[in-house]
Amino acid sequence: MAFVDESGDDGLGNFRVPGRRGGSSQWLVLSACVFRQVYALEAVRWRDSISDKFVNKKSRTLHFMDLNHGQRTVAAQTIGALPLRTISVMAAKPPIPGGIYTAKNQLYFYMARYLVERISWLCRDHRPQVPEGDGRVRITFSRRGGMSYESFRAYLTHMRDQPDAGVNIHWPVIDIEAVDAQDHKKSASLQLVDAVASSFAAAVEPDFYGNCELRYAELLRPVTYHRGGNYLSYGVKMVPKYQDCGLDAQQSRFIELFK
């Protein structure tokens, strides 16, 4: 099972500047939490194990952006010890030339393609250790306004039926018809991946004061997908290449963590 959420928006232009309110995010981050279906019912307990640590929290529903730094640290720390894997694809938007992503949801679809690609590799790689099921993965998105999941299924079907040399999805493990969306508040699994996406975004998206927070992503490193210690091609994918993202000193520390 794979659960997907994003942090940031897909607006291109009028980027947010530290010290000012408003504007679109400088980064769009899509993340996935992938775990075996036998753990499906455990996700509620995992979520509750985080919420139960928060004093005076009236609801167990987890939303990372509503937490303070200490609570976010505990959330990332807890997720970093669970039997799952995380994958994050990260688009630096300011370097993207104008006129490329002009259609609605085009950038989101493009980044989701990279995410599905890596989900497929992970499921293919781990199939020998997973005896149950038929080897396919069910992908569930956190529902976002203005997003047609029927259109995204059609997008995947088009890529599968008309192969492109630049697309390396391992199609036998992707159950296109099972791709769907649920509401954040109704799914403990989506609340967990919300924390993952927000954690990775915090490492590169400057806050109001111009600071990035690496600690959350650092705590998630133990569950980040990699092959032989290679994270930046697998569990962490930057678009464009990180050398072309115009990273500052704080953001470069994130690269060093996963390099």
Taking 80 as the threshold, does the pLDDT of residue 6 lie above it?
A: yes
> Residue 112: what pLDDT?
97
Helix (H, G, I), strand (E, B) or coil at 242: helix
C-beta of residue 19 within 8 angstroms of C-beta of residue 210: yes
> Residue 98: what pLDDT?
86
Taking 90 as the threshold, does the pLDDT of residue 131 lie above it?
A: no
* Least confident span in 100-109, 190-199, 227-236: 100-109
Full DSSP string of 149-167? HHHHHHHHHHHHHS--TT-
Helix (H, G, I), strand (E, B) or coil at 46: helix
- Rg of the chain, C-alpha, whole Å: 18
Interval 57-93: pLDDT, tens: 778 899 999 999 999 999 999 999 999 999 999 999 9
Question: Among all chains, which residue has been given the structure tokens 């590799």?
Answer: 121
**Token representation of residue 164:** 């492109």
Backbone angles phi, psi at 157, to 5 degrees: -60, -40
Question: What's the pTM?
Answer: 0.96
Q: What is the mean pLDDT of residues 178-198?
A: 97
d(CA 80, CA 84): 9
d(CA 29, CA 20): 21
> Residue 132: what pLDDT?
85
> Residue 202: what pLDDT?
98
pLDDT confidence band for 55 (50 / 70 / 90): confident
Backbone angles phi, psi at 7, to 5 degrees: -130, 135
Q: What residues contact 166, with CB distance under 8 A and at least 6 apart?
A: none
**Token representation of residue 136:** 């396919």
d(CA 204, CA 27): 8
pLDDT confidence band for 213 (50 / 70 / 90): very high
> Residue 14: what pLDDT?
94
> Residue 37: what pLDDT?
93
> Residue 223: what pLDDT?
98
Q: From residue 61, how far is each of 32, 67, 84, 147 by CA, in Å?
A: 19, 11, 20, 23
Q: What is the mean pLDDT of residues 152-158?
A: 97
Helix (H) or strand (E) holding 141: strand 139-142
Q: What is the 3-state secondary structure (H, E, C) of 85-119?
A: EEEEEEEECCCCCCCCCCCCCHHHHHHHHHHHHHH
